[in-house]
Amino acid sequence: MPKGEANPPALPGDSTRRAEFEALYQQHSREVWALAYARWMDSDLAMDITQEAFLRLWKQWEAGGEDIQNPRAWLLRVARNLAEDYAKSAFRRNGTQPPELLNGVRSSQPLPVDELERQEQFAQLRAVLDEMAPADREILTLRYALDYDANTIAEQLDVAVTAVHMRLSRARQRLAERLSIHGDFTPGETASETNT
């Protein structure tokens, strides 16, 4: 996650349950964050969704509801649903202030036209990634969204490090080809972006 690792939400309860929860947070929060970030390309929103997913897990435990056999899968499902709910929310569609009220506010952020171009590129990248094979999406996400190195990816996927390098190279090449077909990215731009 960018801007340093976030801490799990502060929660009441016995220390054993809290320790179990914090261990789950350390183990799965980056993956939950990456799923939300891949949907919206907004790190703050991804963090909000991550925190909400873990709070819902805690509330589920406290309520003594369904027995969650696979917390990772449960968290990813909840985060995916939260991301989709955000897409349908009135706040996202309408905001809270009329545009004319914000016109006079100066910002250190990029100009709206630059930000729009960036968002369009991210949207195009997401669309292209959606067209790719799941194995390519997985390895690109592990490398570039989660910022895992080759050794960590090899451990996660239970493959050799050389296989990780080969799969990454091929996935980047396929991504570059698809982006160049879409027309807004030149092969040079794609190569430099995907090799960072």
* Residue 117: pLDDT over 80: yes
pLDDT at residue 19 greater than cutoff 80: yes
Domain borders along the chain are 15-92, 111-194
Give every CB contact of residue 54 below 8 A, 6+ residues apart in sequence.
Answer: 8, 9, 21, 24, 25, 29, 32, 75
Mean pLDDT, residues 99-125:
74
Contact 18, 11 (CB under 8 A): yes
pLDDT 10s digits, 53-108: 999 888 888 877 667 788 888 898 999 888 888 767 645 555 555 566 556 666 67
User: What is residue 171's predicted lDDT score, i.e. its pLDDT?
Assistant: 93
Contact at 8 Å (CB) between 57 and 21?
yes
Q: Is the pLDDT of residue 192 over 60?
A: no
Residue-level pLDDT at 170: 94
What is the percent of the chain with per-residue pLDDT over 70, rounded to a whole number? 73
Q: How far apart are CA 29 and CA 162, in angstroms?
A: 27
**pLDDT at residue 189 above 50?**
no
Give 16-44 as a DSSP string.
HHHHHHHHHHHHHHHHHHHHHHHHH--HH
Helix 161-182 to helix 150-157 angle, to the nearest 10 degrees? Answer: 100
Assess contact for 178 and 70: CB atoms under 8 A.
Answer: no
Alpha helices (H) along 64-185: 71-88, 90-94, 99-102, 112-131, 134-140, 150-157, 161-182
Q: Which CATH class is domain 111-194?
A: mainly alpha
- At the topology level, CATH places domain 15-92 in Rna Polymerase Sigma Factor; Chain: A (1.10.1740)
Predicted confidence (pLDDT) at residue 46 exceeds the cutoff of 90 = no
